[in-house]
Structure 1
Amino acid sequence: MTLLLSEPQVEALLDMKEVVPALEEAFRRESAGEAVNSPRTRSRAPGAVINAMHASLPYLGRSGLKCYLSSAKGTRFVFLLFDSKDSELLAVMGADVLGRFRTGGASGVATKHMHPSRNPTLAVLGSGRQALTQVIAIQTAVGLTRAKVWSPNPGHREAFAGKLSGLGIDAEAALTASGAMRGVQVASTITSAAVPFVEETAVEDLSHINVCGGNNPEHSEITAGAVGTFETIAVDDLPQAKTEYGDLIQAEAAGTFYWGKAVELKEIISGRVKPKGKTMFKSGGAALEDVAVASVVYDKAVKLGGFPEASLGFPTF
């Protein structure tokens, strides 16, 4: 039988305290050759783009596929979780909230391993649907009591600062992106910006930044000059980064970055690479993260019981 989990059900089952260690373990296992990630693929048609990403985590006995279609009507996400041993389709679940948790969770893991000091002050650049899980994940991973918030819309940033106050975080809205990062140790950018807005002078006080807003080679949040100020630059998946991550692709074109400088986050988590100087994590979302988080959701759903199931009648060959 296959579990069928809606977006609200997935959201109710997710807990960042479980997501962060699950992602940490997935990257550690990948470094040991015990997990396999494949870069995202896209098919473009007039008015629509369908995206697919898949990975296998043999240590869990799980494989999975996330696909999502974007059109003028919006984006719809779905995730398929398989048992790798007997080919059973374990679950079909909504994957929008799942994606927010895995993206935020990856920033939490990166911050923990690339900026080891606890309770930093955080600058959050962006106040949209993915911003809250960035904060919750970093709070979970390293502790957080103070944050500064910026987004282009004054009402949105004020409202988001108020939401963070409800999490026990002393949060204030900043008038500018550079103002949000002034006197701050850690930042996360999570916007839909196509044109970079994080300037070189704005990152002078930072020790670490998570750049999470895009996976389009023509878009970037951080200028090439700012990228060049970071000594250690990690990505979630290097082959994917070379084709999608505009922040780094554009910095390479400008001569402030070269791909030999980039390391994969798994190598830092495993201890094979030690971060040096100012650090940056460029996140575009990796399929192994989705499989790890979907497994957390599935295991909890099975334990609790009471969720809808269906027999899809797949033949076995």
Structure 2
Amino acid sequence: MNTLLLDSNDVDEYATLPAVIDAVEDAFAAFERGTTQMPAKSYIDLPQYNGDFRSMPAYLDAGDWDAAGLKWVNVHPNNPTDHDLPTVIGTMIYSDPETAFPLAIMDGTSLTMKRTGAAAAVATDYLAREDATSLGIVGAGVQSYTQLRAISEVRQIETVIVSDQDDERATRLVETFDAEFDIRTGSITEAGHCDVLSTVTPVDDPIISREDVGEQTHINAIGADAEGKHELADSLLEAARIVIDDHEQCTHSGEINVPYSEGVITDTDIHGEIGELVVGSIEGRTEATGVTVFDSTGLAIQDVAAAHVVYENARGTGSGYEFGLLNSA
């Protein structure tokens, strides 16, 4: 038995968004049912290299399938200028839960983009208006492309407004999708008054106020990934129905981490976790619901779910590279 090595092109090809969205939804449900194991993300801090490593292991039993894996990922901001390498490099080890055999080693960076977009799509499906046709994107980096592709799988998106301080980056996104959507650049307020808004910026201080969004806009807050970072103003969060992916991660390093640590947002202000929406234990959007916010920090079970899709789609196709990692195999 061989291990399958899959590069970023393989992951991009076989992480088909409809299947990844379904698998991530299954993972959220399993998390809520208690059929997952997901130790806290561990860090190795390397200040001498201005970087860190992060270890994200998980197992999930989704009923019809189960899977296990580990994502090993870094953040090294000096990489692009000093080493001509990406700031973030991820590697996913996907294993057979029964035997622990390493079924695949695959690019984790493309995998992360797909599963993050899929999580926003799941939240959008439960929290956005059924008739939503417009999407605002604040931040036109690499994740914005997957946000648009994934969300358009669950809503009939026709109009897209992109806001970014870097005009060239925003224009690239517009030109990429010009043939598929009525897409243009605009202000944060214009993007925020769309039916759905995804925020994918690295800012530390809020850039989106309550006045910047519509009365029934659903917001996928993606950008906050570390303690002290947040994109949405406190007044906006206070007015919104907040759904999170995981309480520990969101209160430590998600969109709500700063107002939560200051007591502005408390547990009573959190409507629930996304898994509760999926299994039906709490309601999503109703006719009376105003602004909704999904605080997405990214869970290891999402990586495992996406890796499951990639492996199942890729095996037996001749793609990738098979090798004998274990000599006895």
Q: TM-score, normalised by structure 2?
A: 0.89
The residue number in structure 2 matching 1:54 is 57
SS state at 1:214 partner = coil
Supply the distance in 1 between the matched residues of 2:313 and 2:221 (Cα, whole angstroms). 30
2:144 aligned with 1:131: yes
Supply the distance in 2 between the matched residues of 1:226 and 1:315 (Cα, whole angstroms). 58
Supply the distance in 2 between the matched residues of 1:242 and 1:256 (Cα, whole angstroms). 12
Q: Deviation string for 1:233-287 (max 9, x for gaps)?
A: 1111111112211x31222245441123321100011110113522110111111
Tell me the CA shift for residue 193 of structure 1.
1.5
The residue number in structure 2 matching 1:157 is 170
Q: Deviation string for 1:133-175 (max 9, x for gaps)?
A: 0011110012211111101112222221222223x2111110x
Q: Where does 1:106-255 land on structure 2 (aligned, <5 Å)?
A: 106-166=119-179, 168-174=180-186, 176-182=187-193, 184-230=194-240, 232-245=241-254, 247-255=255-263
2:315 aligned with 1:302: yes
Amino acid at match of 1:81: Y
The residue number in structure 2 matching 1:68 is 73
Q: Deviation string for 1:213-239 (max 9, x for gaps)?
A: 121111111111211110x21111111
The residue number in structure 2 matching 1:21 is 22
Supply the distance in 1 between the matched residues of 2:197 and 2:108 (Cα, whole angstroms). 26
1:85 to 77, 93, 98: 98
Decide whether the 8 Å contact of 1:19 with 1:105 is kept in 2: yes
Tell me the CA shift for residue 203 of structure 1.
2.0
Decide whether the 8 Å contact of 2:136 with 2:197 is kept in 1: yes
Supply the distance in 2 between the matched residues of 1:150 and 1:222 (Cα, whole angstroms). 15
Amino acid at match of 2:149: I
Supply the distance in 2 between the matched residues of 1:307 and 1:14 (Cα, whole angstroms). 14
Distance 1:306 1:134, change over 3 A: closer
Decide whether the 8 Å contact of 2:132 with 2:196 is kept in 1: no
Gaps of 5+ in 1: none
Supply the distance in 2 between the matched residues of 1:314 and 1:189 (Cα, whole angstroms). 47
SS state at 2:313 partner = helix
Supply the distance in 2 between the matched residues of 1:93 and 1:295 (Cα, whole angstroms). 11
Q: Identity rate of aligned residues, in percent? A: 24
The residue number in structure 1 matching 2:46 is 45
Decide whether the 8 Å contact of 2:238 with 2:269 is kept in 1: no
Amino acid at match of 1:50: F
Gaps of 5+ in 2: 80-86
Decide whether the 8 Å contact of 1:181 with 1:206 is kept in 2: no
1:270 to 269, 279, 298: 279
Supply the distance in 2 between the matched residues of 1:192 and 1:49 (Cα, whole angstroms). 17
Matched residue pairs, number? Answer: 311
Greater Cα offset, 38-47 or 65-74: 38-47
Tell me the CA shift for residue 315 of structure 1.
7.7
Supply the distance in 2 between the matched residues of 1:191 and 1:258 (Cα, whole angstroms). 24
**Alignment RMSD:** 1.8
